[in-house]
Chain A
């Protein structure tokens, strides 16, 4: 049995980078890993998902109802993929969300926070102030790492491996920034 993680968000928010960090941490620990991600046209501001299966030797695909953990960079995307979560699993999500442009163009009512939280139902959801914490770390571009830090306590990977994986994966100049974001996320993840 593998530990299955979905990383979801909007194209450009860093889902692939975040899943690369998990994959790199698995290689550091010598654990087999499989991942599947969205490339190509779907990246252009669309809904994107990365699936990553820690300890898996077969395929990269996670079935609905079986993910151990969901990390979401957008509250609305957390709701879109929440049915992938297994009973007893946890969702870590940013509290913010971007309303799709088509909603404004077609005059649809924009979903509000209450409605989205309703869709998440009775699942265990940890809502993280990712933007604020990323700003505290020094750059709003580190929101993905804040959320990774917040969820890190649930992962079957050592903190040391994750920190090493971050250092290997992010641009050199931003290592310190990202490690700080990871720590800030971890602090709220363990108390939240």
Chain B
């Protein structure tokens, strides 16, 4: 046994390797991305690892891999499961052969997400088991065992870590990485794999028949466990269980839910041994609803009685508050210590030299009264530049744009979408916009990488997750194949040319596509590409703040004059913006 200090996602990847994983598929999404990133970088890797173009694609490939008898995992963030929900629901019917784990990482408090949905609800909806680890060590142990649970019940297992598991670190006891001796072999069985009505009705019945044994197994295997100590009990699960154990007094009983579905009989026995129950779980009242159904006359406090919030993430001091409000003794009192007031906020910001800023600056300049639907990526930070008016979900920039145009909105509509997001679910929207002749301008912000989630490669990068070189996809040809006649590729750093193309698009009707193509500035830095640094001539600067308003973090204002700091990456856009030519490339003497 080895002990290492690991990120939750690294520990999860290691657990998969201990289970002799064969294949892994995923689409990047915070907080899930490092699972595939760890697997693909593993030395002497035996398994097949893939970044797929979206979660539905990844899910179906991983499912097929399991149908061939292999152990497979598919990874995504919680909202990715919406994209993969179609195969998810029916794969519960068809069942699986090789162990199949669906990792959907939830993000309470929406640290890096557009909502706070709870993946446990999907597991209940699909009637598949769900594992909800309470610590990094447990995440490692659970995912390792999830493959055999999947094989035992022939069901996909939903594995649901939250941000504070994925992006927590801990000392973790690791087992040996195991080698697989499985070979892919698909055995035809139409009654299992072809879900025509006559087959699917039978499969649905079989799925329902699995539930009772599954619930018992999750108690027998210790995922759902309890300790009875007094007359007051807390039922908890996920990371919240670790906070409960940290703050609750030793005289309180604790039932910990590590996996779903919950065995109602077992839970009822626990509840009925107490005079009062508090349920402490993040997000949806999944445990609480089962608890209330089986509680009889025992009062169950929780979200539905106003003791615990439905939204946000928990912490030891918050859990202590919930316990205190319910009259349950806590070990520690937390002092009320307000945050200091009056400090300017420091939100995340586009990097110095990022092409998204330049593209958005130019869009705003040419389309002053435009409406700007946008999408999911670093460029969502363009909100600070006034060029992001809507963001809902992956791919919804083009469809919201065409929807507004078809609704009759009179203003120019210019949407922005990244290369990875365009390939994820943008293409269908573009095809639809051309087919129905929407009057919109689409700017594809093509930086050749999936940047925000940690620089994963995609089909524009020209390299796979496994590091194999592949021809980079041509976005121009894709757009032309969708029927777009106006497709222009231009680098935004050349402001004159870029604004020229925007003006041309503005003057035309129909669907116009501009591919703003320039590598991510982080990619360039890693490749040690240097373009020097720009500087402000103090005598020339008139303090007009034109460059300051551009919003580059390398430009500061000191005593009324602009100053460029070491953060400068040499893009030179500020020099093009300066009305008095006071900014120029630094000449080394």
Binding site for B on A (CB under 8 A): 10-11, 19-20, 23-24, 26-27, 30-47, 52, 58-61, 63-66, 76-77, 79-80, 82-84, 99-105, 108, 110-111, 115, 119
Contact = CB atoms under 8 A, between A and B. Distances in A.
Interface of B: 3-5, 30-31, 34, 111-112, 135, 164, 167-171, 239, 242-243, 245-246, 315-317, 334-340, 342-351, 378, 380-381, 384, 452-454, 548-549, 551-553, 555-557
A83 B337 contact: yes
Given A10-B346, A23-B169, A104-B555, A40 B337 contact: no
B28 to A, nearest CB: 10
A115 to B, nearest CB: 8
Contact of B164 (A43, A61, A119): A61
B378 A32 contact: no
B5 A41 contact: no
Between B34, B335, B350, the greatest number of chain A beta carbons within 10 A of the residue's beta carbon is seen for B335
B171 A45 contact: no
29 contacts: A20-B5, A27-B5, A34-B170, A37-B167, A39-B112, A40-B111, A40-B112, A41-B380, A41-B381, A42-B111, A44-B349, A44-B378, A47-B347, A59-B164, A59-B315, A61-B315, A64-B317, A76-B343, A80-B343, A80-B346, A82-B340, A99-B344, A100-B347, A101-B551, A105-B551, A111-B343, A111-B344, A115-B342, A119-B340
B556 A99 contact: yes
A46 B31 CA distance: 17
Given A33-B5, A35-B169, A63-B316, A41 B30 contact: yes
Nearest to A63: B317
**Which 3 A-B residue pairs are closest in the complex by CB-CB distance?**
A40-B30, A46-B348, A35-B169
Contacts of B242: 58-59
A111 B553 CA distance: 17
B453 A26 contact: no
B169 A64 contact: no
A44 B348 contact: yes
Between B242, B346, B549, the greatest number of chain A beta carbons within 10 A of the residue's beta carbon is seen for B346
Contacts of B246: 58-59
Contacts of B380: 41
Nearest to B313: A61
Contact of A39 (B30, B317, B335, B337): B30
Given A23-B169, A46-B347, A65 B243 contact: no
Nearest to A103: B344
B524 to A, nearest CB: 15
A64 B335 CA distance: 8
Contacts of B135: 58-59
Contact of B348 (A27, A30, A42, A66): A42
Given A80-B346, A82-B340, A101-B349, 18 more contacts: A27-B5, A38-B111, A39-B31, A39-B34, A40-B111, A40-B454, A41-B30, A41-B112, A46-B348, A58-B242, A59-B239, A61-B243, A61-B316, A64-B339, A65-B336, A79-B340, A80-B343, A83-B338
Nearest to B167: A39
B337 A105 contact: no
Contact of A26 (B5, B168, B548, B556): B5
Contacts of B345: 47, 100, 102
A45 B553 contact: yes
A119 B111 CA distance: 27
B334 A66 contact: yes
Contacts of A103: 344
Nearest to A100: B346
Given A34-B169, A41-B381, A99-B556, A63 B346 contact: no
Nearest to B4: A27
A27 B171 contact: yes
B320 to A, nearest CB: 8
Contacts of A10: 346
B546 to A, nearest CB: 12
B343 A60 contact: no
B170 to A, nearest CB: 5
A35 B381 contact: no
Contacts of B454: 39-40
Contacts of B339: 64, 80, 83
Contacts of A79: 340, 343
A59 B318 CA distance: 13
Given A36-B169, A101-B551, A42 B112 contact: yes
B47 to A, nearest CB: 24
A15 B170 CA distance: 16
Given A35-B169, A102-B384, A46 B164 contact: no
Nearest to B548: A104
Given A46-B349, A101-B349, A60 B4 contact: no
Contacts of A101: 349, 551-553, 555
B348 A80 contact: no
B335 to A, nearest CB: 4
A76 B167 CA distance: 25
Contacts of A39: 30-31, 34, 112, 167, 454
B240 to A, nearest CB: 9
Nearest to B6: A23
Nearest to A76: B343
A114 to B, nearest CB: 13
A30 B171 CA distance: 9
Contacts of A82: 340
A84 B337 CA distance: 8
A103 to B, nearest CB: 5
Contacts of B30: 39-41
A38 B290 CA distance: 34
Nearest to A36: B168
Nearest to A27: B5
A64 B337 contact: yes
Between B30, B167, B381, the greatest number of chain A beta carbons within 10 A of the residue's beta carbon is seen for B167
Nearest to A99: B556
Contact of A63 (B4, B334, B340): B334
A134 to B, nearest CB: 13
Contacts of A11: 348
Contacts of A64: 317, 334-335, 337, 339
A64 B30 CA distance: 26
A59 B245 CA distance: 9
B196 to A, nearest CB: 43
A105 B548 contact: yes
B348 A45 contact: yes
